[in-house]
Protein backbone atom coordinates (compact mmCIF):
# COMPACT_ATOMS: atom_id res chain seq x y z
CA UNK A 1 0.00 0.00 0.00
CA UNK A 2 1.27 3.47 -0.76
CA UNK A 3 0.35 6.97 0.32
CA UNK A 4 1.77 10.33 -0.58
CA UNK A 5 3.62 12.71 1.66
CA UNK A 6 5.26 16.12 1.27
CA UNK A 7 8.63 16.99 -0.13
CA UNK A 8 9.78 20.56 -0.61
CA UNK A 9 11.31 21.29 -3.99
CA UNK A 10 13.01 24.35 -5.49
CA UNK A 11 11.44 27.63 -4.47
CA UNK A 12 9.72 26.04 -1.49
CA UNK A 13 7.13 24.29 -3.66
CA UNK A 14 5.60 21.18 -2.13
CA UNK A 15 5.96 18.04 -4.20
CA UNK A 16 3.91 14.96 -3.31
CA UNK A 17 5.99 11.80 -2.99
CA UNK A 18 4.81 8.22 -3.05
CA UNK A 19 5.35 6.28 0.18
CA UNK A 20 5.65 2.51 -0.06
CA UNK A 21 5.18 0.77 3.28
CA UNK A 22 7.40 -2.20 4.02
CA UNK A 23 6.77 -5.72 5.28
CA UNK A 24 4.23 -6.32 8.06
CA UNK A 25 4.88 -8.94 10.74
CA UNK A 26 1.96 -10.44 12.69
CA UNK A 27 2.06 -12.15 16.08
CA UNK A 28 -1.04 -14.33 16.49
CA UNK A 29 -2.75 -14.61 19.89
CA UNK A 30 -1.87 -17.78 21.77
CA UNK A 31 -5.21 -17.76 23.61
CA UNK A 32 -8.68 -16.31 22.98
CA UNK A 33 -8.41 -13.31 20.68
CA UNK A 34 -9.70 -10.24 22.55
CA UNK A 35 -7.62 -7.34 21.24
CA UNK A 36 -5.52 -6.31 18.25
CA UNK A 37 -2.75 -3.73 18.57
CA UNK A 38 -0.74 -2.17 15.77
CA UNK A 39 2.80 -1.58 17.10
CA UNK A 40 5.03 0.95 15.37
CA UNK A 41 8.84 0.84 15.39
CA UNK A 42 11.23 3.77 15.69
CA UNK A 43 13.28 5.61 13.07
CA UNK A 44 15.47 3.28 11.03
CA UNK A 45 13.97 0.09 12.46
CA UNK A 46 11.45 -2.42 11.09
CA UNK A 47 8.34 -4.30 12.21
CA UNK A 48 10.05 -7.67 12.46
CA UNK A 49 12.43 -6.66 15.27
CA UNK A 50 9.55 -5.56 17.52
CA UNK A 51 7.39 -8.57 16.66
CA UNK A 52 10.11 -10.83 18.09
CA UNK A 53 9.97 -8.98 21.42
CA UNK A 54 6.17 -8.73 21.53
CA UNK A 55 5.86 -12.45 20.92
CA UNK A 56 7.63 -13.10 24.24
CA UNK A 57 5.19 -11.02 26.31
CA UNK A 58 2.71 -12.85 28.56
CA UNK A 59 -0.33 -11.46 26.71
CA UNK A 60 -1.99 -14.48 25.06
CA UNK A 61 -5.17 -12.60 24.10
CA UNK A 62 -3.53 -9.93 21.94
CA UNK A 63 -2.82 -10.05 18.22
CA UNK A 64 0.10 -7.78 17.35
CA UNK A 65 0.43 -6.21 13.91
CA UNK A 66 3.92 -4.79 13.31
CA UNK A 67 4.21 -2.88 10.03
CA UNK A 68 7.40 -1.43 8.55
CA UNK A 69 7.53 2.26 7.69
CA UNK A 70 8.35 3.56 4.21
CA UNK A 71 11.96 4.30 3.34
CA UNK A 72 12.16 8.02 2.67
CA UNK A 73 14.67 10.90 2.83
CA UNK A 74 14.92 12.25 6.39
CA UNK A 75 15.78 15.91 6.91
CA UNK A 76 17.46 15.35 10.31
CA UNK A 77 19.80 12.89 8.51
CA UNK A 78 20.65 15.45 5.84
CA UNK A 79 18.26 13.81 3.37
CA UNK A 80 19.70 10.31 3.83
CA UNK A 81 16.92 7.73 3.39
CA UNK A 82 15.67 5.69 6.33
CA UNK A 83 12.55 3.81 7.39
CA UNK A 84 10.34 6.47 8.97
CA UNK A 85 6.65 7.08 9.57
CA UNK A 86 7.08 10.77 8.72
CA UNK A 87 9.85 13.27 8.08
CA UNK A 88 11.67 14.85 11.02
CA UNK A 89 13.69 18.02 10.64
CA UNK A 90 14.38 18.80 14.27
CA UNK A 91 13.42 17.62 17.73
CA UNK A 92 12.50 20.88 19.44
CA UNK A 93 9.52 22.76 20.82
CA UNK A 94 9.20 24.74 17.59
CA UNK A 95 9.82 21.93 15.09
CA UNK A 96 7.47 21.79 12.12
CA UNK A 97 5.25 18.71 11.94
CA UNK A 98 5.09 16.68 8.73
CA UNK A 99 1.28 16.65 8.67
CA UNK A 100 0.96 14.77 5.37
CA UNK A 101 3.40 12.11 6.53
CA UNK A 102 1.61 11.77 9.88
CA UNK A 103 -1.77 11.51 8.16
CA UNK A 104 -0.45 8.83 5.81
CA UNK A 105 1.03 6.82 8.72
CA UNK A 106 -2.16 7.13 10.82
CA UNK A 107 -4.23 6.06 7.80
CA UNK A 108 -2.00 3.01 7.33
CA UNK A 109 -2.58 2.05 10.97
CA UNK A 110 -6.34 2.48 10.66
CA UNK A 111 -6.33 0.42 7.47
CA UNK A 112 -4.47 -2.43 9.21
CA UNK A 113 -7.15 -2.41 11.94
CA UNK A 114 -10.08 -2.15 9.52
CA UNK A 115 -10.44 -5.90 8.90
CA UNK A 116 -10.49 -6.94 12.57
CA UNK A 117 -13.74 -8.50 13.89
CA UNK A 118 -16.27 -6.09 15.41
CA UNK A 119 -15.99 -7.59 18.92
CA UNK A 120 -12.21 -7.15 19.08
CA UNK A 121 -10.81 -4.15 20.99
CA UNK A 122 -8.35 -2.09 18.95
CA UNK A 123 -5.21 -0.27 20.00
CA UNK A 124 -2.04 1.34 18.70
CA UNK A 125 1.36 1.66 20.32
CA UNK A 126 4.96 2.29 19.46
CA UNK A 127 8.48 3.35 20.31
CA UNK A 128 10.05 6.77 19.66
CA UNK A 129 8.77 7.96 16.26
CA UNK A 130 6.32 5.05 16.43
CA UNK A 131 5.07 6.41 19.76
CA UNK A 132 4.64 9.84 18.17
CA UNK A 133 2.58 8.28 15.37
CA UNK A 134 0.49 6.40 17.94
CA UNK A 135 -0.26 9.61 19.85
CA UNK A 136 -1.09 11.37 16.59
CA UNK A 137 -3.50 8.50 15.81
CA UNK A 138 -5.07 9.07 19.25
CA UNK A 139 -5.74 12.72 18.38
CA UNK A 140 -7.19 11.72 14.98
CA UNK A 141 -9.51 9.29 16.79
CA UNK A 142 -10.70 11.93 19.25
CA UNK A 143 -11.25 14.50 16.47
CA UNK A 144 -12.95 11.88 14.30
CA UNK A 145 -10.79 12.88 11.34
CA UNK A 146 -7.27 13.33 10.06
CA UNK A 147 -5.75 16.78 9.70
CA UNK A 148 -6.56 16.63 5.97
CA UNK A 149 -10.26 16.43 6.86
CA UNK A 150 -10.88 12.79 5.90
CA UNK A 151 -12.83 10.78 8.52
CA UNK A 152 -10.81 8.60 10.90
CA UNK A 153 -12.44 5.14 10.87
CA UNK A 154 -10.85 3.14 13.71
CA UNK A 155 -12.37 2.91 17.20
CA UNK A 156 -9.38 2.92 19.55
CA UNK A 157 -9.53 1.45 23.05
CA UNK A 158 -5.89 1.88 24.13
CA UNK A 159 -2.79 3.86 23.10
CA UNK A 160 0.80 3.23 24.25
CA UNK A 161 3.81 5.47 23.66
CA UNK A 162 7.35 4.57 24.73
CA UNK A 163 10.12 7.19 24.55
CA UNK A 164 8.12 9.40 22.21
CA UNK A 165 6.41 12.77 21.88
CA UNK A 166 3.06 14.31 20.92
CA UNK A 167 3.01 15.83 17.42
CA UNK A 168 0.87 18.93 16.75
CA UNK A 169 0.62 19.57 20.48
CA UNK A 170 0.14 23.33 20.10
CA UNK A 171 -3.09 22.94 18.12
CA UNK A 172 -4.61 20.16 20.23
CA UNK A 173 -6.76 22.48 22.33
CA UNK A 174 -8.47 24.04 19.31
CA UNK A 175 -9.38 20.58 17.99
CA UNK A 176 -11.17 19.52 21.18
CA UNK A 177 -12.50 22.71 22.76
CA UNK A 178 -16.22 23.10 22.11
CA UNK A 179 -16.42 19.73 20.32
CA UNK A 180 -18.61 17.52 22.53
CA UNK A 181 -17.87 14.23 20.76
CA UNK A 182 -14.13 14.91 20.67
CA UNK A 183 -14.15 15.82 24.37
CA UNK A 184 -16.06 12.63 25.21
CA UNK A 185 -13.61 10.46 23.28
CA UNK A 186 -10.61 12.21 24.82
CA UNK A 187 -11.98 11.73 28.33
CA UNK A 188 -12.44 7.98 27.93
CA UNK A 189 -9.39 6.95 25.87
CA UNK A 190 -6.72 5.20 28.00
CA UNK A 191 -3.16 6.32 27.15
CA UNK A 192 0.10 4.98 28.65
CA UNK A 193 3.29 6.98 28.23
CA UNK A 194 6.68 5.69 29.40
CA UNK A 195 9.99 7.55 29.20
CA UNK A 196 13.53 7.11 30.46
CA UNK A 197 15.10 10.01 32.35
CA UNK A 198 18.43 9.23 30.68
CA UNK A 199 17.06 9.40 27.11
CA UNK A 200 19.57 11.34 24.98
CA UNK A 201 17.68 10.90 21.69
CA UNK A 202 14.15 12.00 22.60
CA UNK A 203 14.75 13.91 25.85
CA UNK A 204 12.65 13.03 28.90
CA UNK A 205 11.07 16.51 28.88
CA UNK A 206 9.27 15.64 25.63
CA UNK A 207 7.51 12.69 27.25
CA UNK A 208 6.68 14.68 30.38
CA UNK A 209 5.37 17.64 28.36
CA UNK A 210 3.31 15.35 26.13
CA UNK A 211 1.64 13.82 29.17
CA UNK A 212 0.87 17.25 30.62
CA UNK A 213 -0.51 18.53 27.30
CA UNK A 214 -2.84 15.56 26.92
CA UNK A 215 -4.05 15.79 30.52
CA UNK A 216 -4.68 19.54 30.31
CA UNK A 217 -6.72 19.11 27.13
CA UNK A 218 -9.33 16.70 28.42
CA UNK A 219 -7.55 13.35 28.18
CA UNK A 220 -8.54 12.08 31.61
CA UNK A 221 -7.03 8.58 31.50
CA UNK A 222 -3.34 9.30 30.90
CA UNK A 223 -0.70 7.31 32.81
CA UNK A 224 2.90 8.55 32.72
CA UNK A 225 5.72 6.33 33.92
CA UNK A 226 9.32 7.48 34.22
CA UNK A 227 12.44 5.35 34.63
CA UNK A 228 15.64 6.58 36.26
CA UNK A 229 18.74 5.97 34.16
CA UNK A 230 16.83 4.54 31.19
CA UNK A 231 18.14 5.71 27.81
CA UNK A 232 16.49 5.48 24.39
CA UNK A 233 15.58 1.80 24.61
CA UNK A 234 13.21 -0.45 26.50
CA UNK A 235 13.79 -2.68 29.54
CA UNK A 236 11.86 -5.62 31.05
CA UNK A 237 10.50 -3.43 33.86
CA UNK A 238 8.92 -1.09 31.30
CA UNK A 239 7.42 -3.93 29.26
CA UNK A 240 6.00 -5.42 32.47
CA UNK A 241 4.26 -2.10 33.03
CA UNK A 242 2.86 -2.24 29.49
CA UNK A 243 1.58 -5.80 30.02
CA UNK A 244 -0.16 -4.98 33.31
CA UNK A 245 -1.68 -1.78 31.91
CA UNK A 246 -3.02 -3.43 28.74
CA UNK A 247 -4.47 -6.34 30.72
CA UNK A 248 -6.29 -3.91 32.97
CA UNK A 249 -7.47 -1.35 30.42
CA UNK A 250 -8.54 -3.88 27.77
CA UNK A 251 -10.13 -6.26 30.30
CA UNK A 252 -8.09 -9.24 29.08
CA UNK A 253 -8.71 -12.72 30.46
CA UNK A 254 -5.33 -12.99 32.10
CA UNK A 255 -1.63 -13.28 31.56
CA UNK A 256 0.29 -16.42 30.77
CA UNK A 257 3.52 -17.14 32.56
Active site residue 128: yes
User: Which residue among 45, 98, 103, 199 is the active-site one?
Assistant: 199
Do residues 126 and 134 lie in contact, with contact meaning Cβ atoms separated by under 8 Å? yes
Active site residue 114: no
- CB count, 10 Å around CB of 170? 12
User: Which residue among 51, 128, 163, 211 is the active-site one?
Assistant: 128
The residues, any chain, with a CB within 8 Å of residue 164's CB and separated by 6 or more, are 126, 127, 128, 129, 130, 131, 132, 134, 135, 193, 195, 202, 206, 207, 210
User: Which residue among 33, 48, 208, 232 is the active-site one?
Assistant: 232
The residues, any chain, with a CB within 8 Å of residue 149's CB and separated by 6 or more, are none
For the chain, the residue count is: 257
The residues, any chain, with a CB within 8 Å of residue 170's CB and separated by 6 or more, are none
| CA distances for 89 relative to 81, 98, 116, angstroms | 13, 9, 35
Catalytic positions: 128, 199, 232
Amino acid sequence: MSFTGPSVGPGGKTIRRALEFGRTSVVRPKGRHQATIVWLHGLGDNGSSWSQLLETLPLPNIKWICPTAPTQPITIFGGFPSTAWFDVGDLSEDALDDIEGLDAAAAHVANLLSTEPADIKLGVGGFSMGAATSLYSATCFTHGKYRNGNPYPANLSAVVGLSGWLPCSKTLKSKIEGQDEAARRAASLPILLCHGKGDDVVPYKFGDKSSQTLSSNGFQDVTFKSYNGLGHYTIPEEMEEVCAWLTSKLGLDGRST
